[in-house]
Structure 1
Amino acid sequence: MFATLADVLARYPNEATILAADETTRERDDARIEAALTDAAAEIRVILFARYTRADLDRIDDDSREALRIYAIDIALYRVALAFGRGNDRVKDRYDIAIKRLEAIGAGKASLSFDGPGGGGAGGGGSALDPSSVGPAEAIVEAPERLFTRERLRGL
């Protein structure tokens, strides 16, 4: 999951209450929001699998995790609103923006950042030929040792 119920309530407490209200009791139905968050996570993964593996998504850093959290919240609230006929333009616009940004990431027009080696994240360790240390958008270049180095040219 990219977001939790607590994340939704921290970001949009009023909208969550209005959009996920039970028809009879008028109280917020947290199960509706949690189900929508599960669906949003699946939708995000499907879009990002065009470029990233499950292992890559497990290694995203805090900046990327925060961006995906925002997208997951916007997608989940839209799903709740749509399911119960309570949508509005603000919720729809946030959903559309989230999907467009996720599609841009999946298409390589934007990217996620990662913890550890490979994928553009920080950290060393692992050789360049180790497949687990290379991100999906990184090129592997193998070349022979340089022939003309400063040390070799000193004697000429």
Structure 2
Amino acid sequence: MQPFATIDDIDARYPAELIVLAADEVTGETDTVRVTAACEDASSEARAILKARYTTAELGNLDLDSLETLRLYTIDIALYRIALSFSRSNERIKERYEAAIKRLEAIASGRGGLSFASSDGGDDGSIETTGSPNEVLIEVPERVFSRDRLSGW
């Protein structure tokens, strides 16, 4: 599954922190392998928290707003994992990590929500929904006794 954040996302948002935290000990160059692994791990951690409320299919069908929100949280988680990987952690990065985890847990517990991309509206026999993850759908048979059916009695 596609990670919520990539090395390019981190570089676009926090280029100085990426240089300081992810520089290889020997060469001084950004260790893209470790950063990519941290991004994938951070995305897995975010998905694990969100699966308390959302299915894998729902997480794969998020709209752009929700993906951008998850990108922000995942970047903070990834930076924390990068800092731990290189033994360069500090309080500010740890606080951002903890805040991101709390926000994801709040979404998973229902104190926030994610929105989904709408389908193309094709007729595939499925029930049409509004895209709300907590929408209750009830399908019932037609009424047996109604005023019209009992009008001759």
Normalising to structure 1: TM-score of the pair?
0.79
- In the aligned structure 1, how far is the partner of 2:75 from the partner of 2:123? 35
Q: Deviations over 1:41-62 (max 9, x none)?
A: 1101111111111110111111
> Secondary structure at 1:91's aligned position in 2?
helix
Pairing 1:30-109 to 2, within 5 Å after superposition: 30-109=32-111
Structure 1 residue aligned with 2:127: 130
One-letter amino acid of the counterpart of residue 60, structure 1 = L
Matching residue within 19, 22, 47 for 1:20: 22
Report the alpha carbon displacement of residue 125 of structure 1 after superposing the two structures with TM: 6.7
Per-residue CA deviation, residues 74-94 of structure 1 (Å, 9 max, x unaligned), is 111100101222011221111
The answer as to 2:117 corresponding to 1:115 is yes
- In structure 2, do the counterparts of structure 1 residues 68 and 126 end up closer, same or farther at CA, with 3 Å as the change threshold? farther
| Greater RCO, 1 or 2 (C-alpha within 8 Å, sep 6+) | 2
**Cα 1:6–1:139 shift into 2, 3 Å:** same
Q: Which moved more, 1:1-10 or 1:132-141?
A: 132-141
Question: Equivalent residue of 1:138, what SS?
Answer: coil
The percentage of aligned residue pairs carrying the same residue is: 51
Aligned partner of residue 37 in structure 2, secondary structure:
helix
Mean CA deviation greater in 132-141 or 55-64: 132-141
Tell me which residue corresponds to 1:139: 136
1:9 alignment partner, SS class: helix
**Count of residue correspondences:** 141
Unaligned runs of 5+ in 1: 118-122, 149-156
Structure 1 residue 136: deviation in Å?
A: 3.7
Q: Which secondary structure state, in structure 2, belongs to the residue aligned with residue 32 of structure 1?
A: helix
Runs of 4+ in 1 over 3 A off after TM superposition: 123-127, 131-136, 141-145
